[in-house]
Chains A and B, each alone.
Chain A
Amino acid sequence: MTNITLGQYLPGTSPLHRMDPRTKLCSLFIFIIALFMAKGPASYGLCVLFTAFAAILSQVKLKLILRSLRAIIFIVLFTAALNLLYTPGEEIFKVWIFTVTREGARIACAMAVRIILLVAQSSLLTFTTSPMSLTDGLETLLSPLKKIKVPVHEFAMMMTIALRFIPTLSDETNKITSAQKARGADLESGGLIKRAKALIPILVPLFVSSFRRADELATAMECRLYRGGEGRTRLHELKYGKVDAAGYAITVIVSAGVIVLARVFGL
């Protein structure tokens, strides 16, 4: 079965795909700070423009980005509604016990834009970065923590292995499910308890094979004398390039612009 997409990574060659994962992670972080300091229409507008620019640059289809936003539509509406109704201030109109104020409307809009941009930017990161390079990036970014004895490499290795085995296990689950269906297992009908029971023929073999795989992997790692992170070199060294310089420059300039607009001019 080849139809397993891990996370939502879409292979590609856009500038955003070629960017170092560290750049993308740091840029996202800087942008989020700026986003939370934004105040008026001008500063939020700049944030929207920046996101749109990144989306175009990523060459990810608009449909896919919108699809990732669909999951949070309820949260957006709920947050907006709460802010709209419960912010005290200058009254616009009143229906029964609900009062809509000018301040409420403003905050509701700002909140909605904020959440949407946050999710859109994070989706762009996962759309354009494979989980493996994401862990690599995180490991390198967090490596200063090694000084205070945080086992950064080990955590990253655990994450890498976990990610590596998601497609394998999901493949395995598919196979076992098909095999049990071929034996007439009924997974779709019945109440909650019956359905939970119907999972036993799938979960037991899945657990057995996971333990077997873990055992085999551990043996294979030991055979190659794996002893943790100390003194280890990498096959793919992370290297900054031109695209990263541009990425940092644009992010920092835009974010500074947003903060200045919001905090100095109050726009």
Chain B
Amino acid sequence: MTDLLTVENLTHIYSPGTPFEKKALSDVSFSIGESEMTAVIGQTGRGKSTLIQHLNGILKPTSGRVLIHGEDIRSDKRLLRAARFAVGLVFQYPEYQLFEETVLKDISFGPKNMGLSNEETERRALEAAQIVGLSEDDLSKSPFELSGGQKRRVAIAGILAMEPQLLVLDEPTAGLDPRGREQIIGYIKNYREKHRTSVIFVTHSMEDAAENAQRLIVLHRGSILMQGTPFEVFERAEELKSAGLGVPKVCEVISELRSRGINLKTAFTPEAAASVIKGARARD
């Protein structure tokens, strides 16, 4: 079976042939399977946002291909439009894209563009609103009356309502307080469980990535430094550090304990670390 999404040797150069030429991505390849949760990690300005805009065909690769179910999305116009709906892209600070008179209308914008019937549009919009925890009252308000966190949820609901096969989120929790972050991640997880959607989220928080993703892709200077399960990636802590990325705090605790002669397995979430340490104590 072909993978849901495959990226092959993707290279992107901004403004080629001018003094402003800048290589943002070079030779990036990876693939995403059905209902996988993948985190893309990297420092700011390292090509993460450029990468995700290729996934639904908004940017055109300088070279390389993006395939959905094995078909190149740039091979014809119909496929390119289909890619827009197959890959739901939530941009950074998505609250700045709201424009409609009411929250409900704004959430319905995407499904409407897909050419769905009014009933289906409404059904999806209501479901998406419910998933992100918006109340009935909120739906008839103007999106500009809402608080920042609520606006963010409306914007995410606008993409969820399109029921994409692959949901891509660019730093969905940027600028939110810890509670807001937890909520947003919770909504995404709920949605994913319900619809069996694959999710890619971009983050620079190692903790978020370690706790929520099954696979990690580490971008550094526009190319993939490493990819694999969190376990495989955080095993190579030294490499991550030399790329200026760091590892989750928990990993640091474990490696500090190891350097003091305690034999411990790698763990990258607080829960796993606790059980690893408990296990070691029981053993002694």
A7 within 8 A of B: no
Bound together, the chains give a CA A175 to CA B15 distance in angstroms of 17
Q: CB within 8 Å of A: which of B133-162?
A: 144, 158-159, 162
Beta-carbon nearest neighbor of A183 in chain B:
B110
Chain A, interface SS category: helix
Please encode chain A, from 191 to 223, with 1 for each CB lying within 8 Å of some chain B CB and 0 for all others. Answer: 000000000111011001100000000000000
Bound together, the chains give a CA A60 to CA B88 distance in angstroms of 44
Give chain A residues whose Cβ lies under 8 Å from the Cβ of B94. Answer: 179
Beta-carbon nearest neighbor of B107 in chain A:
A183
Q: Which of A5, A176, A184, A208 contacts B114 (CB 8 A)?
A: A184
> Given A175-B91, A178-B58, A183 and B96 touching (CB < 8 A)?
no
How many B residues are at the interface, by size bracket? 20 to 34
Q: Nearest Cβ distance between residue A235 and chain B, in whole angstroms?
A: 25
Q: Which of A3, A178, A184, A209 contacts B85 (CB 8 A)?
A: A184
Give chain A residues whose Cβ lies under 8 Å from the Cβ of B56. Answer: 182
Q: Which of B14, B18, B84, B99 contacts A182 (CB 8 A)?
A: B84
Q: Nearest Cβ distance between residue A186 and chain B, in whole angstroms?
A: 7
A233 within 8 A of B: no
B20 contacts A5, C-beta separation under 8 Å: yes
Q: Nearest Cβ distance between residue B12 and chain A, in whole angstroms?
A: 11
Give chain A residues whose Cβ lies under 8 Å from the Cβ of B85. Answer: 184
Bound together, the chains give a CA A5 to CA B98 distance in angstroms of 28
Give chain B residues whose Cβ lies under 8 Å from the Cβ of A202. Answer: 99
A10 contacts B14, C-beta separation under 8 Å: no
Bound together, the chains give a CA A176 to CA B109 distance in angstroms of 14
Number of residue pairs A-B, CB distance < 8 angstroms:
67
Task: List the interface of chain A (C-beta within 8 A of B).
Answer: 1-3, 5, 10-11, 172, 175-176, 178-186, 200-202, 204-205, 208-209
Bound together, the chains give a CA A2 to CA B47 distance in angstroms of 12
Q: CB within 8 Å of A: which of B70-101?
A: 81, 84-85, 88-91, 94, 96-99
> Given A5-B18, A10-B19, A184 and B162 touching (CB < 8 A)?
yes
Give chain B residues whose Cβ lies under 8 Å from the Cβ of A208. Answer: 96, 144
Chain B, interface SS category: mixed
A2 contacts B99, C-beta separation under 8 Å: no
A176 contacts B22, C-beta separation under 8 Å: no
B266 within 8 A of A: no
Q: Which of B20, B90, B91 contacts A3 (CB 8 A)?
A: B20
B14 contacts A1, C-beta separation under 8 Å: yes
Give chain A residues whose Cβ lies under 8 Å from the Cβ of B212. Answer: none
> Given A5-B20, A186-B113, A208-B144, A181 and B84 touching (CB < 8 A)?
yes
B19 contacts A11, C-beta separation under 8 Å: yes
Bound together, the chains give a CA A184 to CA B161 distance in angstroms of 12
Beta-carbon nearest neighbor of A64 in chain B:
B18
Give chain B residues whose Cβ lies under 8 Å from the Cβ of A183. Answer: 97, 109-110, 113, 158-159, 162
Beta-carbon nearest neighbor of A200 in chain B:
B99
B97 contacts A205, C-beta separation under 8 Å: yes
Beta-carbon nearest neighbor of B95 in chain A:
A205
